[in-house]
Amino acid sequence: MNKLIIKNLSKTYPNGVKALNNVSIEIENGMFGLLGPNGAGKSSLMRTLATLQEADSGSAYLNDIDILNNPQDLRKVLGYLPQEFGVYPRITAEQLLDHMAILKGITNAKERKQLVDYLLDKVNLYKKRKKNVKSFSGGMKQRVGIAQALIGNPKLIIVDEPTAGLDPSERNRFYNLLAEVGKEVIVILSTHIVDDVRELCTKMAVMNLGEIVYQGTPQNALDELDGNVFKKIIAREELEDHAEQYSIISNKMVGGKPLIHVFSETNPGNGFEPVYPSLEDVFFSKINTSNVIV
């Protein structure tokens, strides 16, 4: 069993932005969802754990590896799929993975060939191995990204905003692949897409403005809100008045009219109906903002 322990991690950029503010999390094997809006500090945390930037204070350990003070040791057991997985213009999937395997220290050519073939098969791209990665769809590029992240039997895999821009079928294939990968290692899924966490993760955290504002399971988060969320369809011109009177946690358009969810410890009446909360309700209530969900 692998264990990642993050304690009091803080990071302030030269422009004064506090990207991480005393972040503490413990994560074990499986899929862990890190949910938060753009600018919440998710990528800063991922980049710190991936040893791409230093923290100002705090500590992070993967098993007995001191991540902040021994980054080289961490890199040996790390798989990382960044938000933008860049590829060389004229290189095939096979060549790309072979190159990444060399960088990971796999010097035996026969061993490398077996590993590359195995990984391409695992991500269902073996038949496309001779094609230039540049010509791949977004979903196929992400699958190559996961394949390279699996090189070297990693104990920690970090995927940052992996499904942005994928169509529904590509997203489902990616979900299945991540779920299989997450059985034996720690996989941190950093995303602002609620569906990613709902579909994949048994444990999660919500991050906002550099801080962890919720840790637990998706189900516990839903249970905490149960009985305190009410819905109502209103006219567009009523939205401003309702925003003043009630604590709106989300709104979306249904049939051209806003469907609002509000947080209230008692039934607000006035046409509101109780509704079992969604993970979107959890997300917006935890970051204490109102947004249109698209």
For 167, residues 6+ apart whose C-beta sits below 8 A from its C-beta are 138, 139
Question: Whose CA is closest to 79, among 107, 49, 42, 58?
Answer: 49
Let me know whether 232 and 265 are in one domain: yes
Angstrom distance (rounded) from CA 210 to CA 283: 15
Give the C-alpha separation, 188 to 30, whole Å: 8
**pLDDT value at residue 89:** 66
pLDDT of residue 153: 85
Task: Quote the domain boundaries for residue 271.
Answer: 223-286
Dump pLDDT digits (tens) for 170-221: 788 878 888 888 888 999 998 888 888 888 898 999 999 999 999 999 999 9
Token representation of residue 73? 């040791």
72 lies in the same domain as 196: yes
Are 270 and 160 in a shared domain?
no
Domain count, the chain: 2
- According to DSSP, the residues that pair with 59 across neighbouring strands are 7
Per-residue confidence band for 292, with pLDDT thresholds at 50, 70 and 90 = very low
Tokens of 177: 């692949």
Domain end position, chosen among 217, 242, 258: 217
Higher pLDDT, residue 75 or 82: 75
Of the three residues 181, 196, 217, the one that is the final residue of a domain is 217
Query: Pick from 197, 179, 169, 153: which is nearest to 42 by CA?
Result: 197
Give the model confidence (pLDDT) of 34-79 as tens digits.
998 888 999 899 999 999 999 999 999 999 999 999 999 999 899 9
This prediction's pTM: 0.84
- Same domain membership, residue 192 and residue 84: yes
The pLDDT assigned to 171 comes to 81
Is 60 exceeded by the pLDDT of residue 290? Answer: no
**Token representation of residue 19:** 């990207």
Asked whether residue 208 falls in the same domain as residue 231, the answer is no
Can you read off the two tokens belonging to residue 51? Answer: 């040893």
